[in-house]
């Protein structure tokens, strides 16, 4: 099944700002500490940009950016933060995502 980057962007447009974006941004900055130039923007952006991340993943999958492992690590952290946020919403604990 082909990866649909436009579908990912569609859903990110629907989400808008999300509480996990700030801790995800911080995690991406840390994970990208020694990233190649194609991913340097992760260290420099002032806030999480899911669209730029989707573009980076697309470039990595196409072989245009040597950072597929970094994309996987950031994606894994995104899922961890999202599942944590969903769990706390489900139990009525609105403390938010844990860094």
What would the pLDDT profile of 30-46 be if each residue is shown by its tens digit?
999 999 999 999 999 99
Give pLDDT, residue 98: 60
39 domain residue, yes or no: yes
The candidate with the shortest Cα–Cα distance to 20, out of 91, 86, 69, 68, is: 86
Assess if residue 98 is contained within a domain: no
Domain count within the chain: 1
Report if residue 29 sits inside a domain.
Answer: yes
- Domain extent, residue 60, equals 5-90
- Residue 45: inside a domain: yes
**Low-confidence spans in the chain with pLDDT less than 50:** 1
Model's pTM, two decimal places?
A: 0.88
Residue 65 lies in a domain: yes
If one counts every other C-beta atom within 10 angstroms of the C-beta of residue 12, the result is 15
């Amino acid at each position: 099944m082909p990866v649909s980057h436009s579908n990912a962007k569609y859903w990110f447009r629907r989400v808008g700002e999300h509480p996990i974006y700030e801790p995800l941004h911080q995690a991406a900055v840390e994970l990208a500490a020694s990233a190649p130039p194609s991913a340097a923007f992760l260290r420099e952006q002032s806030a999480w940009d899911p669209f730029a991340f989707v573009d980076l993943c697309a470039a990595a999958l196409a072989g245009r950016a040597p950072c597929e492992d970094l994309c996987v690590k950031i994606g894994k952290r995104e899922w961890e933060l999202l599942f944590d946020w969903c769990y706390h919403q489900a139990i009525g604990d609105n403390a938010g995502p844990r860094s």
